[in-house]
A = this chain, B = another copy of it.
Amino acid sequence: MKVRVHVSLKPGVLDPQGRAIHHSLEGLGFSGVRDVRAGRLIELDVDDATSDEALDEMCRKLLANMVIENYRIEKVPAAEASA
């Protein structure tokens, strides 16, 4: 089973990486960009028997820093994963 974990900074947390990307986009001449936030995407390939609780625990213990980050778990349908 393929699982995507989206980790993003909580609102209000300073994001220097996002600001650098924003600045660079403007430097390249792209106008109309109002805000940029940088996060992480972690793709896991786990056994089908893996429970939601186990996935949740992986995120809380290792993948996300719960003090400053939020996470979202997305299970990828088999059809999309093999495409």
Contact = CB atoms under 8 A, between A and B. Distances in A.
A45 B40 contact: no
Contacts of A58: 25, 28, 30, 33
A38 B40 CA distance: 7
Interface residues of A, number: 33
B62 A8 contact: no
B32 A62 contact: no
A21 B45 CA distance: 12
Interface in A28-83: 28, 30, 32-47, 49-50, 54, 57-58, 61-63
8 contacts: A18-B42, A21-B62, A28-B58, A28-B62, A30-B57, A33-B58, A37-B43, A39-B41
